Chain A
Amino acid sequence: MRKELGLFLLLIVVSAITAAINPLFLSGVNLLDMANLIGMFGVFSIGEGFTIITGGIDLSIGSMFALLGVVFVDLLTEYQVAWPLALLAIIAGGLVLGALQAFLITRLKMQPFIVTLCGLLIYRGAARYYTTDSSRGFGYGDEADTLRTLAAGHVYGVPNTFIFLVVLAVVMGVLLHRSVYGRYLYAVGKNEEAARFSGIRSNLVIAGAYVLSGGLAAISTVLLVFYTNSVSPSSFGNFYELYAIAAAVLGGCSLRGGEGSILGIVLGTALLQVLQNLVNILGIPSSLNFAVMGTVILLGVLTDQQLQARRKLAAATAGSARAAAAPALAQRGQQT
């Protein structure tokens, strides 16, 4: 929890400074806009976080958005498929792509980085070939109005995407921190061999994370499509996997696996969005957007590592002191 608290404080400080320089930051419109973005980005960042906790990574989600996105728009406009069916088809598509990657990683023992990097290249290529590189968008018809309201609407001004993220985060939080699957996920991420020796089917556990990541990417696709209203296959979702990785890492996930929390990932997503917003609202040239983000992540992870090293050192001295004391206790126990 210490990590999450630190991140939360950082979020507050950054927000306060921005608000102090430009009070528009706190305007209703701006806050709601940010909430909407946090909602959309949070959904797939959580999926990414699961794969990172297994010690892997999912680089393919940005391209999945493009491929699933163009198919989704086509299903609704070109083929006039009823929206619940189209939605189910897209989610199934995301799950299948995730399962495919999971199969390659767990069964054929390929490295996650390579599998999902190839996914990134293949899905993007497929999307561009399928559309011959032309954008797909909604016409002037009323395609899927209900779904649009669900995905892009708001309740009392609060964007549905944000509400959805909160609900999702609670569910995923319970899954990760309270369920048997969550415990297995951490165990496999930290020490797959010991997990296997305890009878845990580590392949299934790891596969679950990639399938979940694919599924959440599919849901994000739908949210993003209704946000942008059109999908350009060559740029839609570009780099979004990096936002997700950044959010997860800022939120305390270690790329070595076995560490991270849902709250951290959500806070990490929020911080990234606040930074983007800050660049706009403070009139910093938008070309510096990525540079600002990179700097903050670098400093954040650096600080966290330094603090952790110091804590570990303290624990180690305490540990060796305990080790030295323990036999003494045992001795006393035997004499009595």
Chain B
Amino acid sequence: MADTLLELAGITKTYPGVVALDNVSLRVMRGEVLGLVGENGAGKSTLMKILGGVTEPTAGVIRIDGREHRALTVSGATRAGIAFVHQELNLFENLDVASNVFIGREKLAFGPLMLVDNATLRARVAPLLTRLGADFAPDTPVETLSIAQRQMVEIAKALSVDARVIIMDEPTSSLTLSETERLLQIVADLKASGVAVIYITHRLGEIMTCADRVVVLRDGRMVGELGREALSHAAMIRLMIGRDLKSLYVPPREAPRAGGCTLTGVVTTAFPDRRIDLSVRHGEILGLAGLVGSGRTSLARTVFGIDRLIGGEIRLDDEVIAIHSPRDAIRQGIYLVPEDRKRAGLVLEMPIRENITLADLLHHARLLLIDRRSEARVARAQSATLSIKAPNIETQAVTLSGGNQQKVVLAKWLSMQPRVVIFDEPTRGIDVGAKTEIYTLMRGLADRGVAILMISSDMEEVIGVSDRIAVMHEGRISGLLEREQFTEYNVLRLAIGQALEPTESAA
């Protein structure tokens, strides 16, 4: 084991009353990709905080190049060559790429004037960008870059400090399929050049592609380690949740009913020259797949009344409805579970109770004064039905985990009379256990006759959850797939704008 870069031995971290990490040991070799999986709260982030020098372990040692440390400091971690590529990118949008890479370590010129030597910075960043195959220059302002490109800037930043271990935390959660592939290629290249990567994700497919070894955490303990040859979805899921997951997905109990929401010739502001025809029947889950930027979210925003409907009409049960604002949509029973739940789904500082009743407050009011008891009754009932894990309904939404926050958003709509619910990336950043619960809830809604439109970039999810799949490409529906046509290949072909292969569409 001469090639061990980093070793954690018996790491334990306790917070008052809770053991966040319990005797975790792991080793990172030079030039390997170590997958780290586990449900939210399994201890992944605590472990990463310890590696980054942000928190001290209660017990255990960290060995770097054979030297023992009881704890790391932030600067110590950086010196040891540990770098992070964060889930939420920490870049200065108003500065250019080179400034971001060297932020805090600027090369200064002109002696006492201490001006930043931009030319040198750019010259030093250029080779890093070439190495990553980036298609932008060092003097590009970060605000003009896509999320994938920004991620490359983060990786370049890691390389600029000669990182030997790069920790990537959910790096692909906002990337498109092709961008994800590119990132996985970069990970492979890093590995080839001897850099070790710790890859944290909920997307097990990516782990299958890139990891040499996978460590699974559950409840703060290391519950298993899988080598390349033992790697499979089922094995990982079994370790993560401690039981066999027969199926993450719940099959429909009833056939879709007549009626539903029909869009005819709908034109959105995002693609003013495209018309969209689509219909979702009561009782079905229609998956809406496509690449990021293909117009799925703007379609959802238009139907929900956030963006203006430029042309075409929206029918609900054969009746044309006018939607000029979310209020109109809500009045018709059309609800949206938005993509960015922290920004658009919740008022984070408000308690669970107030979040749940926010859209239906007039129902909890007499003479415009709020009846808190009525609110509490509904909030408690919803918390119980959706099994929201929180001390009580007065808990601020900000303290909840992603899965529980999403359930609060759902509770808001379920407490009303849904007829059509649009889910935009319903399980992004949510752990496996909570995912199943969300799927079960969605299926339950559909079985009750609600029409469900689910936008998702997660291929497994789209194929597993949907009853039919519509695929969007550059602002139009490029195809519809029935259950027997569900394959990743078919979805992808439509997503990149190609027609289905004749044999397959005949099937």
Contact = CB atoms under 8 A, between A and B. Distances in A.
Contact of A180 (B15, B18, B331, B365): B365
B143 to A, nearest CB: 20
Contacts of B348: 190-191
Contacts of A183: 354, 358, 361, 370
A235 interface: no
Contact of A321 (B17, B330, B338, B401): B17
Contacts of B369: 174, 178-180
Given A320-B20, A324-B220, 8 more contacts: A190-B349, A191-B346, A191-B348, A199-B331, A324-B43, A324-B46, A327-B218, A334-B241
A324 B306 contact: no
B104 interface: no
Contacts of B391: 322
Interface in A61-114: none
Contacts of A321: 15-18, 20
A16 to B, nearest CB: 35
Contacts of B16: 317, 321
Interface stretch (B34-42, B73-81, B130-138): B34-42
B326 A180 contact: no
Nearest to A187: B347
A168 interface: no
A329 B39 CA distance: 13
Contacts of B15: 317, 320-321, 324
9 contacts: A194-B358, A198-B358, A199-B330, A317-B15, A321-B15, A321-B18, A323-B41, A325-B17, A327-B42
Interface in B298-344: 304, 306, 325-327, 329-331, 336, 338, 343-344
Contacts of A187: 347, 350, 354, 358
Interface residues on A, range: 35 or more
Q: Shortest 8 CB-CB distances between A and B: which pairs?
A: A198-B359, A199-B330, A319-B399, A321-B15, A321-B18, A199-B327, A327-B41, A324-B20
A321 B399 CA distance: 11
Given A324-B43, A327-B39, A184 B347 contact: no
B53 interface: no
Contacts of A324: 15, 18-20, 41, 43, 46, 220
A66 to B, nearest CB: 35
A194 B346 contact: yes
Interface string B81-119: 000000000000000000000000000000000000000
B370 A195 contact: no
Most buried by B among A194, A196, A197, A334: A197
B46 to A, nearest CB: 7
